[in-house]
Chains A and B, each alone.
Chain A
Amino acid sequence: QKEVEQDPGPLSVPEGAIVSLNCTYSNSAFQYFMWYRQYSRKGPELLMYTYSSGNKEDGRFTAQVDKSSKYISLFIRDSQPSDSATYLCAMSAQVTDKLIFGTGTRLQVFP
């Protein structure tokens, strides 16, 4: 079993839909959680960073962490075709630890 599990998709939604992307993890020591977006032929770029449990909102994006369920989510409101990309979750236990990534979920938003 991988430390971080993520549904590969693809997830196909119409423009304007609310998108929910999720990751589960097995290591209860993880406390730093990130979401990256990767466009085709590009490197990943950091979207959201959360420490420990709770919610964080940035524009149309909301990150949620539920440490009791070992489950994190990224919500995208009013999705746009420009949101079409692969979304990767990543996490680590300590500040100095390496990041463990999920395999990514491919999202397609059609007009």
Chain B
Amino acid sequence: KAGVTQTPRYLIKTRGQQVTLSCSPISGHRSVSWYQQTPGQGLQFLFEYFSETQRNKGNFPGRFSGRQFSNSRSEMNVSTLELGDSALYLCASSPTVSPGDTQYFGPGTRLTVL
């Protein structure tokens, strides 16, 4: 079974631009979560989608948004990029929404904002 895939793997943008990251979950998984990982803050939860509905949202500004499609694929968008948005963005999928379900992480998208 194919794992979680994220595209693109690397991205360089400049301040003020916007970016869209894509995540394809494992086949059959309906829950997709997004995280931001930085050396100083570690892994921080962005949002979680289940069956196209946002179930949970972390403490990030409104510039960060996401959505999930009927095939469970998910996208996240960051508008008006700031230098501090440089990070590894990880997507994780699981069959349902229980923390007992193993969350399978993708390799991440490394975003650099110049």
Contact = CB atoms under 8 A, between A and B. Distances in A.
Interface stretch (A13-21, A58-66, A68-76, A90-98): A90-98
Contact of B42 (A43, A92, A95, A102): A102
Given A43-B108, A95-B100, A100 B41 contact: no
Contacts, number: 60
Interface centre among B92, B99, B107 (most CB of A within 10 A): B99
Q: Size band of the B side of the interface?
A: 20 to 34
B77 interface: no
A98 B44 CA distance: 10
Nearest to A100: B45
Contacts of A32: 99-100
A88 B106 contact: no
A29 B105 CA distance: 26
Interface of A: 6, 32, 34, 41-46, 49, 51, 88, 90, 92, 95-104
Interface of B: 4, 33, 35, 40-45, 48, 55-56, 58, 90, 92, 97-100, 102-108
